[in-house]
Structure 1
């Protein structure tokens, strides 16, 4: 398939653009993810023209509206950086990004918990990098994450799942942007959404069904905003077990007694933490193919992202 375009902090790609002339190469990003993602690198300080190497800087003042100040000379770079950020995020509109991976703790690119120094010289971990903040305000519905958090299996699968869902959403808009296309998209994502939030699934179903008298672009915008809200919620073991049991119900008549017992045992073992999610999902996929269960064949829950990423092997 065509690679998905993702923004990324330039130093994570191995480019020596940090203040000390070094990089923060992340092999998971440049190795594993690069098989499916095409990266658009961004480095605010370097692109602003501050040079490499350069004086280090930090955020100071109010966490909700901090200043960007160099550590030694106390040069205030806030205004030029904000002007650059405003220009850069507009340039990124044409890149058609499906997400962004930021460099953690950076005063320009940190997504959360960036140190903001107070008058007494002590920091509070309540800030956000100036560029990361500008990007997230300009693209509030795009998936974003930091490289450090991608090492957490739950956060990693949540981010990548949202990226691939956005890709499928854009494919629907580009290929079947009709009322029927929206309903089909909702049906395909039924169990994926339920794994995050049943109330959101019900609300999304209402939005997709109540189309009469409303302009389709307005309905699509409302639907996608609510979908993003749903997928940001954690997909817990309890929620996954509920989805797996729903899927098992499709095979009540087809499965033998031994097959039913095997499936229930694996769901129970997943619930108790003895096997990862991939184990019961693989067996359900086997039954889908064996018994030709058409409705489940199209469910994105069973194939939310490439199997080679092995995301379900660790949750």
Structure 2
């Protein structure tokens, strides 16, 4: 399928239809954030639990503050990392712009300005906030290519924008900025160290996990069972290797041990390995520093651990 233009996608959003939206993180299944019926179509297409809130994507930081109430820390984070793969959870300002269903009934809202030019072009042409969870069926690995996104939920969309392979490959970092404290709710490519360089030490996120998307225990999971921290493949398994000489080159997350390369390859290789119908998918140990925190978080959820 040839991708549609941002203008065609924006028209589809205005009429309550869903749109396949490229971002720098993963492909999203987008809908008008203010339209409960359109948002419900996302849940239907994904089979997504209704208690899991969605991220409102906006065209710029000014628009973000029409949706959410930002304090000085939120503005500092937005200035440092937007457009880009950071989601800020803050008190909701306008409940009509992001409906209750999209917020899972919470008094907070998750918002970000995506780094992908085509994503921002669609949102700007639409003229409002767009919710766009990953375009996979719920619990499955997130799609990082146009074809994979179409395979997952393409039958549910009224338009689809091809933005090429996703540069980042894992979902955005999510932080809450509530009651004067900044807490990390979901690790991503904006690392803990980068966040703390802007706002100082992060607070504990105890009791706030429900405010972030992607926090189910079993998430990002292929059909084959996933075994993490594996030194070698068992009989019938495929090993996703990390580092020089680990496993087959075809299945290497990064032969050079580069965490950004591993993040970009993670969901694609989980999906490709799963298509071969192995007995299981084993994954080499991944360092837990920097971006490795996000990779390990996704792998724990793919393996069925809360993490």
Q: TM-score range by the shorter chain?
A: under 0.3
TM-score norm. by structure 2 comes to: 0.28
The structure that is strand-richer by fraction is 2
Higher normalized contact order (CA 8 Å, seq sep 6+, divided by chain length)? 2
TM-score norm. by structure 1 comes to: 0.27
The structure that is helix-richer by fraction is 1
